[in-house]
Amino acid sequence: MKISCEEASNICTRSQYKEASFWEIQKLRLHIFMCKACAKFTKQNTALTSLCNRADLNTLSESDKEAMKKDLEKHL
């Protein structure tokens, strides 16, 4: 049931995007109970995800991306 810090960070990141299984989350909880470095990483990762979700980021539409790509290719 013990996991490495690397696996804990992967599970932490996947859990932020609702991609971790129930048992993975339980393993992560046990790990961060014992590992203060991973507990800190989890706290920081959660805060960063929360900030990104609240940022209301906008991206280019697919047609704008294609137009930009064609324009760049023209100039190369």
The pLDDT value recorded for residue 52 is: 86
The pLDDT value recorded for residue 41 is: 97
Ordered by start, the domain boundaries in the chain are 5-74
- Close Cβ partners of 30 (under 8 Å, ≥ 6 residues apart): 1
- pTM higher than the cut 0.85: no
Residue 15 has pLDDT above 80, yes or no: yes
Of 14, 6, 70, nearest to 38 by C-alpha is: 6
The pLDDT value recorded for residue 59 is: 86
Half-sphere exposure of residue 25: CA atoms within 13 angstroms, side-chain side: 9
Residue 49 has pLDDT above 80, yes or no: yes
The pLDDT value recorded for residue 1 is: 72
